[in-house]
Structure 1
Amino acid sequence: MTSAPLTDPGIRTRRSHRADTSEPVSSATAGTGELSVPSPIAARSSSAQNRAETSAHRSQPTGREAAARRPTVPGPTAGAARGVHLLSTCPQLVEAVEAVCIGVGVPLSVTSGAPRTRVTSSDLLLVDATLGADDVPRGAVIVALAEQGDAWDTAARRGASAVVVLPHAAAWLAELISRSTVPEVPVALGRVYGVVGATGGAGATTLACWLAGHFTRDETRTALVDGDPLGAGLDLALGEETADGLRWPELNQFSGAVAADQLWAAMPRVDSLCYLSWDRRATHADTVPAATVVAALRGAADVQVVDLARSELEEQARWCDAVVVVTPRTVRGALAADHTVRRCGSVPVVTALAGLNVADLEARVLAETTGVPCAATIGFDPRMPQHLDDGTVLSRGRRGRHAKAVSSIARALGDLS
């Protein structure tokens, strides 16, 4: 009997609608390590409308989160005059940009082709995505109308710092223009937790999804990040493979400058959980600046949960504040966990037992074998393969026994970091 292809719409049933409970785009930007975050990356035009509608309904952060996440403002010092210079020959685009500038009370100057007049350092330079000029200054902001198609290739080719699609991103552009009037203040950086299997099929992807869901239910700004290009896409486990939004391959060629706020706004969501997934073919896996993106997201997400690739663990573990090694309850699993813990280097690690109790392996024995704490034991769930195939893995993690184990792991990771 021939099995149905994975793209067959009848192979799984998806939820047709999810309530939107996400939060507004923060203007925070942050840099760690080699990362510099002077300016933003915006969403692709094909999904701009969806993201604009999402941003419009997001609730403001409150309490400790709001106090900790104050924006870091790029550009000139507070109170400095800032103009906007647009390179375009499209009357419709000029009109759209002019409307934004009028709204924030900032003058707009327009030039057709490459700039022949001096653009001051305090000016914001906008460049029409359809413009053919090759000598556009690096760091300019690419602007396009929604009907003009995808502007990402243009931005990458010219070393642009952002893509703004109008009219959907008009509010964001207005904020960017007016940022120079806001004093610069520090911004709190979020934590990054990695999840990796001691062996293949240990359940790392499942636990990564459950951990991200746990933090989201605590009203923590959370991002679930797919770290394995060869895993066919984390969005499959979420049941979101057809959802619109940014995927890793679209970040090809971007490096050195990524802004947290626009990256956050471009990512798709399951309820209030943001995620960043690979595609089915690991497109551009060798050229996507994954470490830079994860570092940038620290400025937008309080917590990132990264489903790490076992083949790249030494490199990816360095992204993390702590790592959990998911270990099968077998002798081979315990020995593999010991090796995996060592591969994480100096990064703090805990383990978690999962699966059938084949070898009567206890948490104490695993801790003695690996030299790190065993945070919890996740009971075997015979229905998990079906939930993974159906894209309902998040809901399964809310069951009492699973939720209790995940909560213990989350506490252990917090204690380490």
Structure 2
Amino acid sequence: MTGDPALLDELLRLCAVAGIEPEVQPDAGAARAAWPGAPLVIVGDDVTPGLARCGLPRREDVVLIGDDLDDGDVWRRAVDVGADHVVFLPDAEHWIVDRLGDVAEGTGPDAHTIAVLGGCGGSGASTLACALGVAAVRTGLATALVDVDPLGGGLDVLLGGEDESGLRWSDLASARGRIDGGALSDALPHLHGLTVLSWDRDRPPAIPPETVRSVVRAVRRRHDVVVLDVPRHADPATAEALRLCDTGLLVVPAEVRALAAAAQVAGRVGSMVRDLRAVVRQPSSSGLTSEAVARGLGLPLAGELRPEAGLAAATERGDPPGLRTRGPLARFCRDYLAGNPAGVAREAA
């Protein structure tokens, strides 16, 4: 909605980049019929006086395009017209294309995204990541499993699907900008109901942070839950993945040396993920309780993992971790997902 020819030209160009054809109206009166049902409304600052006067009902997903960064009154006008965001061109071009792309894909809210990482070597983080994915699928949620650890051996191997056709990280190493989430998800391997992005068996390529950001965002737009298997080392690509997560689970054996190592990991990644919690593997020969481990790390306790007989043998057969619904691993995952209704356990569409 704008009567400014220059702004209209810029917005039409961005719509073309996003692959959508917008409905264009010059003012609030002309836009009255389309106002309630449009998935996104972009308003030029030139029409805000008329929009504020015309009495259209308040709605979500209204973006105001300001034309002067030094104009402090633009925020008052945003309140007057009920805008959720105020942005300026050209700085906000990529953001606007992303929002328009969401409209084109018809996506809902982004997936709840969980990072799983080990506090020390051999902690079982990859096993937990796979089991969380399997548990989420079992509840009917569209779930993706993304392997961000190039030296972890491959989650597709852990799921028994290393020969499954589909894209791997090496095929996406040069990807930049917005990626169509539907097309990407269709092109990835699907194992045990999971959409899986892992590594091939060749020397893993270096994945730039901007590629990690684009790929993970695309996957998040097409699923209810995304689980990331993240390495302990906080390189720029790992840091980018962690910043996209809602929750981080740090897997720590209840041992003194493991606690010391995990404390270093928690110190490095704690500022990168908004909600980092400890998952403690028991039993402990050192006498450390799960509560003591979490307290030593300064983290909330997400729960504890008990030994599961036959898990290693089942994995060697190609059975995914957590497939046994009565095992301690599956029980932890079920309880964890059920305890996070705000994002993880919302009903599948």
TM range (shorter): 0.5 to 0.7
**3-state DSSP class of the match of 1:394?**
coil
Give distance in 1, aligned partners of 2:165 and 2:15.
25
Give distance in 2, aligned partners of 1:266 and 1:334.
40
Tell me the amino acid that sits aligned with residue 323 of structure 1: G
- Give 1:359 shift: 1.4
Change (3 A) 1:372 1:227: same
Change (3 A) 1:217 1:185: closer
Of 157, 162, 166, the match for 1:236: 157
Alignment check: 8 A CA contact 1:355 1:381 kept: no
Structure 1: runs of 5 or more not aligned? 1-35, 40-72, 80-179
The aligned counterpart of 1:225 is 146
Give distance in 2, aligned partners of 1:402 and 1:416.
21
Give distance in 2, aligned partners of 1:412 and 1:343.
27
Q: Deviations over 1:237-276 (max 9, x none)?
A: 0000111112111112111120111111111112321111
Change (3 A) 1:185 1:228: closer
**3-state DSSP class of the match of 1:310?**
coil
The aligned counterpart of 1:344 is 269
Identical positions, percent: 31
- Give 1:186 shift: 6.9
CA RMSD, 1 decimal: 3.1
**Mapped pair 1:211 → 2:170:** no
**3-state DSSP class of the match of 1:255?**
coil
- Give 1:282 shift: 4.1
Q: Deviations over 1:54-90 (max 9, x none)?
A: xxxxxxxxxxxxxxxxxxx8411259xxxxxxxxxxx
Change (3 A) 1:204 1:367: same
Q: 1:262-411 maps to which residues of 2 (within 5 A)? A: 262-287=183-208, 289-312=211-234, 313-346=238-271, 347-394=274-321, 396-411=323-338
Give distance in 2, aligned partners of 1:405 and 1:358.
21
- Give 1:356 shift: 4.4
Of 76, 95, 102, the match for 2:21: 76
- Give 1:414 shift: 5.6
**TM-score relative to the length of structure 1:** 0.54
- Give 1:416 shift: 9.0
**3-state DSSP class of the match of 1:311?**
coil
- Give 1:409 shift: 2.9
**3-state DSSP class of the match of 1:231?**
coil
The aligned counterpart of 2:172 is 251
Give distance in 2, aligned partners of 1:402 and 1:76.
48
- Give 1:361 shift: 1.9
**TM-score relative to the length of structure 2:** 0.64
Q: Deviations over 1:15-43 (max 9, x none)?
A: xxxxxxxxxxxxxxxxxxxxx9987xxxx
The 10-residue stretch of structure 1 (185-194 or 197-206) with the greater mean CA deviation from structure 2 = 185-194
Give distance in 2, aligned partners of 1:197 and 1:391.
22
Change (3 A) 1:376 1:345: closer
Give distance in 2, aligned partners of 1:336 and 1:225.
24
**3-state DSSP class of the match of 1:280?**
coil
Q: Deviations over 1:139-195 (max 9, x none)?
A: xxxxxxxxxxxxxxxxxxxxxxxxxxxxxxxxxxxxxxxxx9x99977311121000
The aligned counterpart of 2:81 is none
Change (3 A) 1:349 1:242: same
Tell me the amino acid that sits aligned with residue 366 of structure 1: V
**3-state DSSP class of the match of 1:211?**
helix
Count of equivalent residues: 250
Q: 1:24-103 maps to which residues of 2 (within 5 A)? A: 74-77=19-22
**3-state DSSP class of the match of 1:274?**
strand
- Give 1:234 shift: 1.0
Change (3 A) 1:416 1:359: farther
Tell me the amino acid that sits aligned with residue 408 of structure 1: D
